[in-house]
Structure formats: C-alpha cells, structure tokens
C-alpha cells in the first residue's frame, strides 16, 4: 500500500476535517453563525486569545486563559465556562480537526442583544473556538530578518482604551497594518502619543545593545504578550542575557545591535531594517538566533502549558 508520505504526485490526499466549537458543540464551518444582533459584531464588544498548539499541547495555555479572564473582567463580561472547560474545549476542537500543530482563536463575544451600546441587554455571551493553521511571515524571513516601517498612526492611549485588554476592537492596529502593506512590508512599529516605542501591529518588540535586551514597559501602551513574557522570564535568563523594561525611543531601535519581534503567531523573528535604516548586520542577529533556538528546543521538548 502506498503511504501518504510516498503517494504519487497526482494523488489527492483526504482533506482534514474542519470543525468550529460554538457554545458547547462542534459544528461545520458553514453552520458556525453568530446573530446579526451580537454586540461583538455590531460594536467589537468582546475579547479573544490567539494560542498555538504544538504536538497536541497548547503553549502557555494557563497564561492565555488568565489573560482572557482579565480582559473579560475589565469589560464586565462574564465568560459562561470555567477555565478547565475552555481548556477541554480547545483540546476537543484540535482533536476533531486533526490538527496537533495549529493556531487557536478563542473568542468571547458579548452575545446577542438589542441595537444600541448598552451591553447589559445581552443575556448570554457567546464563545467560539476556531482551530486552523497560520503563517504570518514567510519562512525565509526567520533567517534573513524582516523589514518594517514606523507607522504614522500612534497607539491608542491607555487612558482611552487600554491595549492590555485584548478586545475585539483592533481598528487601531489594522489601520497601522494598512500603512505597512502600502509600504510593501509586513509589519509596522507603533509609537504611543508621547513618541515612545510601544509595540507593532501584532507583535511586541525588543532591542539588543551591548549584550543586553531592552523592551518597552507595559505602561507604554502595549499588549501584555505571552511570548514576550516567556522571553523575559525564561528564555533570556536561561541564556544569561539580562533584560530591562524601560521607555524606548526610535533612536534606541536605530542604534541597536539587533531588534526582534515576538508574538504567539510570529514566535520570534529578527528585524533587518526599519524604513531605510539597516539594523545591526542587516539580518537576524546572533543573540536573536540563540533565543529562537532555545524557544524551538523547548517547544520540541514539549510546549509548556502552564
């Protein structure tokens, strides 16, 4: 019998099943529907998490679920499932989709209510789990590094909409992402309204200078990134690299030996240039390579779920 790995080039391999988890049941994607009165659709009222599955294990699952709960609490949104139930639901969906290596989108919407902003007309939040694949950046950029720009659009001030709340309202990020696409690159650095470096449209940012890592503090108006924290708390200390959280200017990035980005979907990727300025050696630098290799080693050893 011919195995799938050695099937003829013209052979059609069976497609993996696709299922969406919606409020306690698995449905086909065509049947995964939300009400046109759902305030998540009408007003971006809700929160979400993006997680990664590696060999059937969900990377930093506990930290993601804690952050989801914190976002929901600040929105005064009651998640109708426990942390254990959400964890089981994500594993169930991964198994149903036969995707042990995947990207998971866990969404909590305000639910269906009346027209108008009042969130308390929505009697029950909705919960959706999508399991699929994702590739933000081409594989070759993880060796060569990626070019980015500085967005003209600043990050929303914390006092207006705290980016620590991972809400369904991503228009600030999307408008900056459009700037990067128009410039022919895949990511943009966002500054806060004070001109300090904040984060990118979908990634946190780090700079390396003289063997030390610096990254903007959470007070700069950034998402409290799970992979960012993994670098700060575990990867860098394991490699003996000191990390400092501090206010950063664009000059800190332009003068850095290396710059790299982190995110659940992006993992760890180096920056080769910011606009027309080459960063360091113009490709992924050696310390970033060490961090990425340590990240990969730990994932292959069994992605930590706590």
261/127 same-domain check: no
Note the Cα 189 to chain centre separation in Å: 15
d(CA 55, CA 94): 10
Q: What is the pTM of this model?
A: 0.92
31/57 same-domain check: yes
47/182 same-domain check: no
Residue 239 in any domain: the answer is yes
Of 112, 146, 121, 138, nearest to 42 (Cα)? 112
Burial class (CB in 10 A: 0-12, 13-18, 19+), 171: exposed
pLDDT band at 110 (very low <50, low <70, confident <90, very high): very high
77/112 same-domain check: yes
d(CA 82, CA 171): 29
Averaged pLDDT of the chain? 94
pLDDT of residue 16: 72
Buried b (16+ CB within 10 A) or exposed e, 6-18: eeeeeeeeeeeeb
Pair 242, 190: CB distance under 8 Å: no
Tens-digit pLDDT profile for residues 271-288: 999 999 999 999 999 999
pLDDT band at 4 (very low <50, low <70, confident <90, very high): very low
pLDDT band at 15 (very low <50, low <70, confident <90, very high): low
Q: Which of 108, 132, 156 is the last residue of a domain?
A: 132
168/81 same-domain check: no
Of 95, 119, 96, 93, nearest to 106 (Cα)? 93
Q: What is the mean pLDDT of residues 243-253?
A: 98
114/219 same-domain check: no
Beta strands 243-245 and 212-215: pairing type? parallel
82/118 same-domain check: yes
Say if residue 6's pLDDT is above 60: no
219, two tokens? 């007070």
pLDDT of residue 14: 54
Q: What is the mean pLDDT of residues 73-102?
A: 97
% of the chain residues with pLDDT over 70 = 95
H or E segment to which residue 143 belongs = helix 141-144
Residue 11 in any domain: the answer is no
Q: Which of 95, 113, 132 is the last residue of a domain?
A: 132
Residue 10 in any domain: the answer is no
Q: Which residues are catalytic?
A: 166
58/185 same-domain check: no
CATH code for the domain in which residue 287 is found: 3.20.10.10
CATH code for the domain in which residue 67 is found: 3.30.470.10
d(CA 207, CA 213): 6
Q: What is the mean pLDDT of residues 252-275?
A: 98
Say if residue 5's pLDDT is above 80: no
Residue 199 in any domain: the answer is yes
191, two tokens? 């500054």
Tens-digit pLDDT profile for residues 182-218: 999 999 999 999 999 999 999 999 999 999 999 999 9
Q: Which of 71, 97, 132 is the last residue of a domain?
A: 132
Residue 8 in any domain: the answer is no
Residue 9 in any domain: the answer is no
pLDDT of residue 13: 45
93/200 same-domain check: no
Q: Count the domains in the chain.
A: 2
Tens-digit pLDDT profile for residues 118-162: 999 999 999 999 999 998 899 999 999 999 999 999 999 999 999
d(CA 235, CA 212): 13
d(CA 198, CA 245): 12
252/149 same-domain check: yes
201/121 same-domain check: no
Residue 167 in any domain: the answer is yes
What sign has the CA pseudo-torsion 153, 154, 155, 158? negative
Say if residue 11's pLDDT is above 60: no
Least confident of 9-13, 16-20, 131-135, 293-297: 9-13
259/146 same-domain check: yes
Mapping DSSP to helix (H, G, I), strand (E, B) and coil, where does residue 228 land? helix
% of the chain residues with pLDDT over 90 = 92
Determine the structural domain holding residue 283 and report its residue range. 141-300
pLDDT of residue 136: 87
Residue 258 in any domain: the answer is yes
């Amino acid at each position: 019998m011919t195995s799938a790995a050695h099937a003829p080039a013209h052979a059609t391999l069976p497609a993996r099943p696709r299922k969406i988890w919606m409020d306690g049941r698995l449905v086909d994607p065509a049947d995964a529907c939300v009400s046109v009165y759902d305030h998540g659709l009408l007003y971006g009222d809700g929160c979400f998490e993006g997680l990664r599955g590696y060999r059937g294990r969900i990377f930093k699952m506990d930290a993601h679920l804690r952050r989801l709960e914190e976002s929901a609490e600040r929105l005064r949104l009651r998640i109708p499932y426990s942390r254990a139930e959400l964890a089981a639901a994500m594993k169930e969906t991964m198994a149903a989709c036969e995707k042990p290596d995947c990207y998971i989108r866990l969404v909590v919407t305000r639910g269906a209510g009346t027209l108008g902003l009042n969130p308390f007309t929505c009697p029950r939040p909705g919960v959706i789990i999508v399991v699929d694949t994702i590739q933000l950046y081409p594989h070759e950029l993880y060796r060569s590094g990626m070019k980015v720009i500085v967005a003209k659009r600043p990050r929303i001030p914390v006092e207006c909409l705290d980016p620590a709340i991972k809400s369904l309202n991503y228009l600030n990020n999307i408008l900056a992402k459009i700037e990067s696409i128009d410039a022919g690159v895949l990511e943009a650095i966002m500054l806060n309204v004070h001109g300090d470096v904040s984060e990118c449209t979908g990634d946190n940012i780090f700079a390396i200078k003289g063997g030390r890592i610096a990254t903007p503090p959470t007070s700069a108006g950034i998402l409290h990134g799970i992979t960012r924290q993994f670098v700060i708390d575990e990867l860098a200390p394991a490699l003996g690299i000191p990390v400092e959280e501090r206010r950063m200017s664009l000059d800190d990035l332009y003068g850095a030996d290396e710059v790299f980005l982190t995110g659940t979907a992006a993992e760890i990727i180096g920056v080769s240039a910011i606009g027309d300025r080459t960063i360091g050696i113009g490709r992924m630098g050696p310390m970033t390579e060490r961090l990425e290799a340590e990240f990969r080693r730990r994932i292959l050893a069994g992605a930590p779920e706590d």
